[in-house]
Amino acid sequence: MTMEETNTLKETVISVLKTIYDPEIPIDIWTLHLVYGVDVDEEGNVKIVMTVTAPNCPVAETLPAEVRNRVQAIMGVKNVDVELTFDPVWSIDMLSDETKADLGLDGEYGNFSTSDFLY
């Protein structure tokens, strides 16, 4: 696979990640910054490093599996490795100002902390 094909495949992977939503928050996992890294090699192997909103999140097992299955279905992807990490721990501070506003976390409703989102 050429470098251009590898880059195109990575863009496709990211496009698919933008269609996967956290079931508790109506925002996709890419916009939520739950994906820390996407690497695609010249063989079509994909490595995704991601997190969930809290270590005890009810989708900590199912969300990475969904990511793996959806990315594996992309033409040109050979293997998918999804690594779940909590380093760094996800925080609402990772969200863009626009996403915070979409979620009502733009200051109009008071201050929130990460603990407000723990299960």
From first to last of the 119 residues of the chain, give the pLDDT tens digit: 999 999 999 999 999 999 999 888 889 999 999 999 999 999 999 999 999 988 888 888 899 999 999 999 999 999 999 999 999 999 888 888 888 888 877 665 445 555 555 54
**pTM of the model as a whole:** 0.84
Name residue, tokens 């626009």: 98
119 in any annotated domain: no
The alpha carbon torsion through 43, 48, 49, 55 (nearest 10 deg) reads -140
Specify whether the CB–CB gap between 40 and 13 falls below 8 A.
Answer: yes
State how many domains the chain has. Answer: 1
68 in any annotated domain: yes
- 36: containing domain: 3-91
107 in any annotated domain: no
pLDDT at 119: 46
85 in any annotated domain: yes
CATH of the domain at 24: 3.30.300.130
Provide the residue count of the chain: 119
